[in-house]
Structure 1
Amino acid sequence: MIDKPLLAGVMILLTLSLIMSYSLSVYTVLHFHYTDFHFFIRQSVAVFIGFVTMVILSKMDPDKWFSKVGLLLFILFFILMIVMQFLPASLVNAVGGAKRWIHLGPMSIAPVEFFKVGFVFFLAWSFSRKFLSRTNMGFFEELRAFSPYLAVFFVAVMLIAVFQKDLGQVVVLGATLLVLFLFIGSSMKFFFTLLTGAFIAVIGLIFFAPHRMARIKSWWITVQDSILSVLPFKAVQDLRVEASVKEPWQISNSLNAIHNGGFFGQGLGNGQFKLGYLSEVHTDFILAGITEELGFLGLLLVTLTILLIIFRIFKIASKVKDPMYYLFSIGVGLLIAFSFILNSYGISGITPIKGIAVPFLSYGGSHILASCVAIGMVLMVSKKVPRGADGRIL
């Protein structure tokens, strides 16, 4: 028996995604002269394909199909991320020098979304074979043992952060990798060494990319007064950025949309900031759009549903006996959690905007389908969890 609460939570968010893709895309539809149901139909196709894929995967025998599906995701989309850099412009259109999507007729595929799921499988598959029986490794032994995974991650960083200019996805993958290291017994010394190295690497990727530096400065304008006001040191005040930097209007309008929603919201379809003030609000800023139209209550329900999904995934992981299933389920839960945190922090101005989609909610076929594939594999695993006569997890 699959985990029905997990399936129900995912379906609630996918249904809300369809509703909001119609409600929030009104300005984009008018601006580009699309039909009224342009985004709704495209999202409906993605949700339908994702749902069918999720159901098919959930019915498969994990002992027979789980590893095959996971390895296919990892190998195929790792190769695609490499090959897409050399494909012609008719298949891969560079936007700002970044090649992120492969165009196949009316469809576009973002390989990185599927690679994330495959990467988590690769880690779970390999970790369960190599490390769970090892204990008390020294620091240099840990470094030597984990170096192949760090090498694979470094290649992924180059492909995603450098060629695709998508630092947010790297942050999600890196955070997931670090936490999984802890789950297989790495020492805290090794963990904090990697964390320090990752922090330095992210600073480097920001410093040597002008568009990221501009985004950091734009974000800093919105938070510098509140931060610097509690730091009385004279030298710290030199960090203040003057108004010559471009105003972070996306963050400001996002905060205004959230504030305008109040507790109960303006009502479905009655949002004002989707009318050209927040560009592409049905994608990365969908939480701000939901909050304006459905209020704090709507945002709370979305957050609780996300937490329910993560909780059910972790509960499945805690009860399943196979270490590969255990680590994969944890990894999927972490991907969802980190993506939701980075997006919600970005639209509220706590951190710079990363361009991360909200799991199961944001408009976009690739992330919807990839998320459904991940949940389908977890549902496949959930059949191995011991249950009582009433279907509850024991």
Structure 2
Amino acid sequence: MQILKRITQKLQYLDYFIFIPYIILSGIGVVMVYSASSYKVQMAGGDPTTYLKKQLLFAILGLLVAFLIYSMKVNFFKSSGFIILFGAVSILLLLYVVLSGKTVNGAAGWINFGSFNIQPAEISKIFLVLFMAQQVAFRENKELSYEGRNKRRFIYAIAVVLPLILILIEPDVGGFIINFSAVLIIILASGYSIGITSLISVGGMGTLMILLSKLKSVSPDSGGPLAYMAKRFSGFNDPFKYQQSTGQQLVNSYYALSNGGIFGAGLGNSIQKRGYLPEPYTDFILAITGEELGLLMVFFILILLFSMIGRIIFIGSKSKETFHSLCCYGIATFMTVQTVFNVGGISGVLPITGVTFPFLSYGGSSMLILSFCVGLVLNISALRKKELLNNK
């Protein structure tokens, strides 16, 4: 009851430029997950509404999470106790998934809980953003001793580098780049020296380049995660040459977008979801959306998403608290990079990395994490609105 009371009191400060796109995108996601999954499930003898029910549940739970985070004090998420606990859970889950996680599409990035899977790389997004923002805010505290700062730098380095390395080991190149990008943007926005920023940039990209260089010597038929990644890169380079194997996803994504044209073939009328695209309701849901609802709907979805991201950046730029600003920048960064990688993957501009489309793709981990972020940004926006009203 106390939570409901706090939410009711804060509704007057709700930022509808973020909330409305969030609701619309989540609603489109539920509809498209059902449309993209129903045929495949039905042909397998299952209930065609299986993924509809799950995604609707994820959307509702996500909305509850967003309002729960919105009702809390922002400083709670800055507290060392919360971040240490969150970080410990995030790193332990990543360790577990590397050692014995469920392999999906060539990468051991999932923990299986019955009919539901958890993706620890998604959880690490929040931890890294909150931790980085907190550490920069602490760095501005002139009361810390020189020794105290040195200890923090050491812990800071371990806490940031370890999750990134574990994500790369899975291997999840897309997840690594998304998380690393958020870390890098926060560092750039925080005013760290050029030397430190360059060192971290070179270190992160160097690690990625070493992994990618190994793919050249890996046989696509050798088996294992690296072999799967090598197959994806060969399919990206010449998809039509390998359209019966590694290029199948990209070629059928082209067909889906071509079939849809500007106005689409109609909801439920996709051809490519009928066994041609192996991941029609996850990685390639935007391709199915384009086929059924057309290029105009795809543009509408992108406009909604980037208007939300733009609003998050605006809130960050206007916030007086460093922690608040950097949280907004970190969240806007990983949402942007995730969107670019997904759209680039389905259009053949970038290699397919298994990155889902925010709010639309099927998945509980992604929806709950994104909802957490939306709730946090709404909370920061509400604080800013309240301060503006009080100063009048």
SS at the partner of 2:282?
coil
Per-residue deviation at 1:362?
A: 0.4
Alignment deviations for residues 304-358 of structure 1 (CA, whole Å, 9 cap, x no partner) = 0111110121121122211111111110111111100011111111111011111
Alignment deviations for residues 180-205 of structure 1 (CA, whole Å, 9 cap, x no partner) = 11101134555445434433322211
Query: Are residues 1:181 and 2:198 paired?
Result: no
AA of the residue aligned to 2:238: I
Q: TM-score scaled by structure 2?
A: 0.83
User: Quick check: 1:274–1:289 contact (8 Å CA) kept in 2?
Assistant: yes
User: Quick check: 1:271–1:289 contact (8 Å CA) kept in 2?
Assistant: yes
Mark the runs of 5 or more structure 1 residues left unpaired by the alignment: 134-142, 224-241
Q: Distance in 2 between matches of 1:6 and 1:243?
A: 42
* Identity, % of aligned positions: 28
Q: Distance in 1 between matches of 2:387 and 2:93?
A: 43
Counterpart in 1 of 2:93? 80
User: In 2 relative to 1, CA 65–121 (structure 1 residues): closer, same or farther, beyond 3 Å?
Assistant: closer
Mark the runs of 5 or more structure 2 residues left unpaired by the alignment: 1-12, 143-149, 215-225
Q: Distance in 1 between matches of 2:267 and 2:243?
A: 38
User: Quick check: 1:206–1:212 contact (8 Å CA) kept in 2?
Assistant: no
Q: Distance in 1 between matches of 2:254 and 2:338?
A: 19
Query: Are residues 1:111 and 2:123 paired?
Result: no
User: Quick check: 1:74–1:118 contact (8 Å CA) kept in 2?
Assistant: yes
User: Quick check: 2:285–2:360 contact (8 Å CA) kept in 1?
Assistant: yes
SS at the partner of 1:384?
helix
AA of the residue aligned to 2:94: M
AA of the residue aligned to 1:380: N
User: In 2 relative to 1, CA 243–329 (structure 1 residues): closer, same or farther, beyond 3 Å?
Assistant: closer
AA of the residue aligned to 1:361: L
AA of the residue aligned to 1:23: S
Q: How does 1:22-101 map to 2 (within 5 A)?
A: 22-64=34-76, 67=79, 70-85=83-98, 92-95=101-104, 98-101=107-110
User: In 2 relative to 1, CA 243–268 (structure 1 residues): closer, same or farther, beyond 3 Å?
Assistant: closer
**Structural RMSD (CA):** 3.0
User: In 2 relative to 1, CA 108–214 (structure 1 residues): closer, same or farther, beyond 3 Å?
Assistant: closer
User: Quick check: 2:234–2:246 contact (8 Å CA) kept in 1?
Assistant: no
Counterpart in 2 of 1:159? 166
Counterpart in 1 of 2:339? 340
Counterpart in 2 of 1:364? 363
SS at the partner of 1:213?
helix
User: In 2 relative to 1, CA 311–373 (structure 1 residues): closer, same or farther, beyond 3 Å?
Assistant: same
Counterpart in 2 of 1:202? 208
Q: Distance in 2 between matches of 1:97 and 1:13?
A: 29
User: Quick check: 1:26–1:275 contact (8 Å CA) kept in 2?
Assistant: no
Q: Distance in 2 between matches of 1:311 and 1:132?
A: 29
Counterpart in 2 of 1:237? none
User: Quick check: 1:24–1:269 contact (8 Å CA) kept in 2?
Assistant: yes
**Bigger helix fraction:** 2
Q: Distance in 1 between matches of 2:137 and 2:387?
A: 28
Query: Are residues 1:216 and 2:233 paired?
Result: yes
Q: Distance in 1 between matches of 2:244 and 2:295?
A: 32
Alignment deviations for residues 11-33 of structure 1 (CA, whole Å, 9 cap, x no partner) = 11100010001111133213432
Counterpart in 1 of 2:147? none
Q: Distance in 2 between matches of 1:350 and 1:147?
A: 39
Counterpart in 2 of 1:136? none
Per-residue deviation at 1:146?
A: 6.4
Counterpart in 2 of 1:126? 135
Per-residue deviation at 1:213?
A: 2.4
User: Quick check: 1:71–1:121 contact (8 Å CA) kept in 2?
Assistant: no
Query: Are residues 1:5 and 2:17 paired?
Result: yes
Q: TM-score scaled by structure 1?
A: 0.83
AA of the residue aligned to 2:27: T
